[in-house]
Amino acid sequence: MPLATVIQDHGRLDGVQRVLFGSGLQFWLHRILFLDALSYLSHGQLSLSLDRWILVDIDDIFVGERGTRLHEEDVAAMLASQAALQRLVPGFRFNLGYSAKYYHHGTSLENQGDDALLRNREHFNWFCHMWNHQQPHLYNNVTHLESEMMLNKQFAMEHGIPTNSCYSVSPHHSGVYPVHEPLYEAWRKVWDVKVTSTEEYPHLRPARLRRGFRHRGVMVLPRQTCGLFTHTLLLERYPGGRHRLDRSIQGGELFQTVINNPINVFMTHMSNYGNDRLALYTFESVVKFLRCWTNVRLASAPPLALADKYFQLRPDELNPLWGNPCDDIRHRRIWSKSKWCGTLPRVLVIGPQKTGSTALYTFLAMHPSLVPNLPSPTTYEELQFFNNNNYLKGLD
């Protein structure tokens, strides 16, 4: 007689329906059944839609050392894989982020791969990834940022690359969060950016706590990883081997990422599509696995449409939650050198109006070891950072 690992108690004795698990949630199928059980027992009150939206970004187009870049046959494989995915994921197109300075910086075969990408430009979506792949937080002058972006835009116009995606991603997600104001200003002027994405808000880990926010009219989506990075070129050198990658696809981290997030923006890199073409294998495999074992409805759309859908689902995330960049070493690495931890207050006096907070603040300011902020020129008293007008401007 087969043993069931999950059984339903109809509650005939005490009137309480239950779903009983005979083992933990480490087994991927139990996690799916757990979500179904929550939906069933709550009569749909604790349920997720079956719709899952997927966008696959390919950063670093034209960037890469010789020997790691795309050949012409790799581009053909991308097109074939994209066509196969489109049959399973309506609207699917690879989203290419390019840095034009490095066009034709490879071997002869790799330069032919660059040309193949441009010949097939209309089959892909495109976005700016900075002309020279430089991190925006290293620029304190917005004019320099604009000139770099204009070089990328000029290249796009000369080669027929669309420039109206309203989407951009900065190298290493620099300047998105912690916010670098010159980046947002240059994005708006040069590219009319309305959407970006980052894996750094509020922190890289744990990934399940990544959120979105809106700043200066730009909607920031949480970006997900898929286990592939710039150095992930060959299957035989994949950390943990093929077994680890397949485990992520077949019910593991990548599979669970799609299941748990209605909207997924995945980060990949150009090098993942050459060499052993691990990205093509990964996404074709996970889509087939999802289609085989679940009832989720997969689809894709351009970034602006996905951002609108995301914040319709999660309007509570529109306002950012500012954190201290000094508390996260990854944030310090992508924070402008002109800023330092000592500029942020070590003590906050917080309270509603007319409750004595101003008096407390005044008394504290008398202490020789405490340096207060300057009075606000509009309220003639302490800076009221947490009202909407000030808070939404950010820490700068």
Give the catalytic positions in this structure.
Answer: 354
Q: How far apart are CA 46 and CA 42, in angstroms?
A: 6
- Bridge partners (DSSP) of residue 142 are none
Q: Which H/E stretch holds residue 323? A: none
How far apart are the C-alpha atoms of 351 and 370, rounded to whole Å? 19
Supply 189's token pair: 């002027």
- For residues 271 and 158, the answer to whether their CB atoms sit within 8 Å is no
- Tell me if residue 50 falls in helix, strand or coil: coil
- Rounded Cα–Cα distance for residues 201 and 205 (Å): 9
In whole angstroms, what is the distance from residue 6 CA to residue 4 CA? 6
CB 161 within 8 A of CB 123: no
Q: Which two tokens stand for residue 76?
A: 């053909």
Q: Quick check: 230 and 20 in contact, CB under 8 A?
A: no
Buried b (16+ CB within 10 A) or exposed e, 179-192: bbbbbbebbeebbe
* Residue for token pair 């990949």: 268
